[in-house]
Structures are given as C-alpha cells and as structure tokens.
Structure 1
Amino acid sequence: GYPQGGQPGFPQQGFPQPQGQPAFPQAQDYSQVPQVQQGFPQGSQPAYPQQGFPQASQQGYPQAGAPQQIPAQGFPQAAQPGMQSGFPGGQAPTAQAAPVPPPKPTFVAEPDKDCPYFSPMPNYQLRRSGSKDLEFTSFQFFDGTTMTAAEGRLWERTYELRKGAGPASNLQIRRNYANAMKSMGGMVLFDAACGQTKGCRGVTGDLMVGKAVRGGKALWLQIRPIYSFSGEASRYVLTVIETEAMKQEVTASDLLKRLNEQGRVALYINFDVDKATIRPDSEATIAEIVVLLRNTPALSVSIEGHTDNTGNSQYNKALSEQRAKAVTDAIAQQGIERNRLTSVGWGQDAPIADNATEEGRAKNRRVELVKK
C-alpha cells in the first residue's frame, strides 16, 4: 500500500492528504514511533503521529491500502480495542439465536386403549385423575325431553387443553362428537348450549347427547364442555355407556304356539340406527320365521313395523314401513311365496310400553308377526 522509497503513500480511496500539515520528511526516523496494532502489521509500516492523523481507524478505514466494504453498522472489518461490537478476526458476525431454556415437563396422556370408541380433540390430553371405568353402572342421559337411565359399562374421561395450545370453542367440541356419532350410524338426541335444556332438572351448561349401535351393542355418549364465559373450553368431560342390545332367541315352534294363542308375536329384530338394514345378529330370527312358514304352508302373515316416539311421527312411520318391507324381502329371498306375506308400518302410533323410559322405548321398537 506504499510506494517504494519508504514514504507512506495514501491510496486515492484511502486516507486523504492532510490539509495544513507538512509531509513527513524523508530523513525522519519512524522506527521510534510506536506501532499501531490495528492499522498495520507490527514492524512493517509506520504509525501516524498523534498530531497528524488519528491512530487506528474510527471512521471505517481499511486495514491496508485497498478500500474494503464498510459494514452497515459503520464498524471496520478489524475489531477496535474495547469495542464490544467489533468483528473478531476480521469476519462479520453471524446471527445467533438466544439460548432457549429447556421446556418444563408436562403430563402427556397415554393412548386411551380402554375407551375404543372415541378419541380426544386435537390439543387436548387426558387430565390427571380424569378417568373413571366401571364394569357395570347406571348413568342418566338427557335425551332432549327427559332423563333416561342407561345401564352397562361406563367410560368417563376428562380432557384438558395442552399447555400453550389454542382452545376449541364449546360449540366446536360438541359438533365434533356429534359428527363422530353420525359417522357411526348413530343419532344426536340433544345438542345445545347453556339455557337450551328445556328446564330439565339436573341439566346445566353446554351438552351433547347421542346414541348409536356398534357390534350389536348400544352406545350412549355425553359431551359436556366445562363452562366458559369466553365461549372456549379449557376442559371437557366425555361419558360413554355401552349396553347390550336387546336380544331374542326364538324357535319356529315357539312362534307357531304364540301365533295360535295370541295371534301375533313381537320380534326384536335389530337394524342399523335410522336405517332399514337388518343387522347380522338378527339373521337367526329371520331364519326361524322361514322355518315356521315352510313347516306350515297354509299360514300367511303380516309383517308390521313399529318405532318409539323419538323424532318426527311422519319420519317414524316411513322408517317402520321400510323396516317391515326389509323383513318381508329377507323372508321371500329364502323361498317363501310373496302372496303369503304383506308388510305395513305403524310408526309410533301403537306403543306397547311407556315411551318415557329407555326400556319402554326399546320395547316399542319392534317388528310384529301377525297371523292372517
């Protein structure tokens, strides 16, 4: 960076010629001038006298002659003594994230293998001491009109929001499980926010109640978000009761005897919820009806469908007709003449038990074999 002959030259882009200062005489001995550590390598180039120019660059001058890019902060590439923001080793600093403290341990629920029907909402976990499992008990469910006792195996789970996660609204939680119930072929009996429970004693807060049939077993589900003025739920309680579906063991001889004595037989043929699809666990009953009709060729019967009073009466009548026809078709498919069979649906108009209880409603959901 200096011309030959020992004179300290200045690049055009480097230090300007000092104004009003005499040039250094050639005879001057620079060996006695202290060397500047930051400006030039030791023992090679003279430092500037204190009265002439500032020692190490404070203005962003390069180290050795050739101009260099000045960092945006205004600091030179070489670190200045005592400057915390200087760049060590002539290298620009790289951004480093502040150290993050290790996360505090949180409780994470194990997969709920003992409650196979429903999973928790995203961002929610099983609360400590939030489980209750009973092999057999009774639980009161609100079906939209009354409190109904369901008996069977119980699973109860309390789920809470994971730390740092965003909560779901009470409505979102209720609708999530309502959709899950419908996807199982079930129905939603009640779904409402606080104040919509028709004043039923013992029913408070947001609530969703549903019912379905899975694998020949009836499932009752209740979802109760913990009340929140903001409309968000930090916790919610899931309750499931699994009950045995009504089963009936009949034989052709029993059917004939009861038809001769009473003129009709109530059969509890299981269908998918809100459908006319006969469930596999009722195929044995259909087979016994076929045996009866084969053994008594002179017998003709009417297949009559009935429902409980849940839902709309017109809908129930149509459903009962569809189910009666489904049974008639199943019998005819096994070789019984259709002119010996008729079908009709009565809906909820001919109950044989009290519709105010689940037991009574279960008895009213039937198909009757009537002697003609």
Structure 2
Amino acid sequence: MKKIAILALGIVLFSCKKEKDAVQTTTQSVETEANEVGGNATAKTDFFIKDLDWSKIPESSANIGAFPYITAPDGFVILADGHNAVAKNGMTVFSDFNKLIMYNGTSFYNAEGKKAEMHFKMAQEKNDFNQFKFDKSVDSYLESIGAVLLFKGQIPKDKLTELNKEDDRTVYNYIQGDPWNSDPVRHYALNHKNGKIMFQIWSNSATGEVGVVELEGFKQTIKAPTASEMQKDIEAKGKVVLDINFDTDKAILKPDGQKVVDEIYNLLSTNSSLKLSIEGHTDNTGNSQHNKQLSGERANTVMYILASKGIDIKRLKAAGFGAENPLVPNDSETNKAKNRRVELVKF
C-alpha cells in the first residue's frame, strides 16, 4: 500500500509540474513575441519605447469596416457616455486626437491618434455579464483580422506607480479598465494596409471595455499670436493670455516659444509707451513651491530676452504665480493645459 501511495503522489507532483511548466512556457512565448515587436532586448529594457517594430507584425488586408473597427457581440450593447443609454454611434467616448498607453510585457508605448472607448454591458438588463463570451468574442475577432497580441496579464504595479508619478490620473486616463486590480488586460497591434491600429481590452464579472487608437502624427493647429492680435486683447481686456512653450521643467524657450516672444517684441516696439508685466502660471501638478519658482524663472527669461533685443527694462516686470491663479479648475488635462500660460498685463 505504501508503494502505491508513493507512486500516486509522484504522478500528481509530475502532473502539477507539467502544468506549471506549460503555463510558464506560454507566458514566456507571449513576452518573447512582445519583446521582439517592441525592439527591446531583455538585457536592456526602456520604460517607454519610441515606436514598435512594425516590420515584425504581418500586414493585414482583412475587411475591418469603419472606425472604431469593433461592434458589440450578440447579446451585448455599447453604452453612451454616462452609461444611461445605448451609444448611437457605437462609441462611449470619441476623441479626434488622444492616446492609449500600450504595454508589450517590458515597456510602454504612447499610441496617439483618433481614439474611441467602448463600455459594454448585456443587452438584457436581467442577464449577468457573460465575461467569458465577451472575452472570447473580442479576442477571436481581433485574431481573425490579423491583430497581434502584445501583452496579456496584469501590468506590474511598480510600473503603473512609475507611470502615475507625473500625474496620478495617467493610468486611469490612458489604460483601459482597471489595471490596478487582478483583472487582466490584453493589448493588441494591427498592422493593416490602411493604417496602424492599437486595441486594449479589459473585463471583469460586471462589464467590459475596449479602447481603440488609429495611429497618426500630431498636427499642430495653434498659431503664434501676432503683435496686432496681442494689442487688440490688451486694449480690450488690459492683458493677453499666451501659450509660450519651454523645455520640460526648465526656463529655456522652445523654438515656437521664441516666435511668440518675437511678436511681443514687435508689440512693444510699435507701442513705445506700453508697459507690460510678464506673469507666469502653471497647473497644480507637482510641488507648489517648485511650480511658483519655475513660473517666475520663465517670466524672467521672457523679460530679459526682450531687454536684450533693445526694450527698456523699465517698461517690463516679471512675476511667477505657480498654480495660485487658475483660469479654470485643474480637473482635466484640457483645463490644466489652459492654466499653463504666460499673461502680459498692462501697467
């Protein structure tokens, strides 16, 4: 009897080891493919990569229809924003330009372009959410059109924490679902003949979400205000609000920021009696004391450049207010961008 018991135990342990090895092999296979696509060797992993190696993703010519390229599986519906009705356009949220932060098993990648978010529920309110059917439907469809799975599982929490250091809403805004909890995410890349498309899928026992980005380069539509436009605002309001770009966390002007300062010089040159207070402002991200100091340094940069070009410094003042005087509440990325500004105030 002892021999039989020992033999049985040995079979159980061998079976468990085989199952564990199979799971590890599958995980390693997915991670190896993701590393190859991301172009990152295991020995050297970048936290963010500039781009995926699309040459390693086979091009697809499948019929994928129109953006956002996914519809609700049978028995499911896509909710409108607010979740009180069914979406009429097949999307919960649409943005003409936004991003998803993709993960390939080792590194993150900013997928920027036209973006849609879709939140799913069962068509019949009485039915519990069928997570297995939802996952199977979406994954099978993506595989059928040639999408490549970059990552499946839970993104390591230390990496999510690092992502959130600059803005504690980064993960919430740019990774679909709730990656902080144990529910796995799936990130796909589709190298279609008509464009490059990224998908994120997340689900739990109550709901499912899909995020889609059709990649495209950012097109700048903001133009530097002219001296005459600045003058009109100052005459009407006593001040002008400007978006002057500096290097990140520095008081060094970017080239497009220099163009704005050149227009301020033109304004002052053609209005010899005009005196301006140059006032820097930030959003509320980060340390308030640091923000105030940085906004003051940036205002000083503008003032001294104008003085170096021949404007009498007695006609100028410089001050930094950090996040003390927001134009709008700092409750979204759009509003934060509005609060990061330089104001020229007549005195």
Per the normalisation by structure 2, the TM-score is 0.47
Higher relative contact order (CA 8 A, sep 6+): 2
Highest Rg: 1 or 2?
A: 1
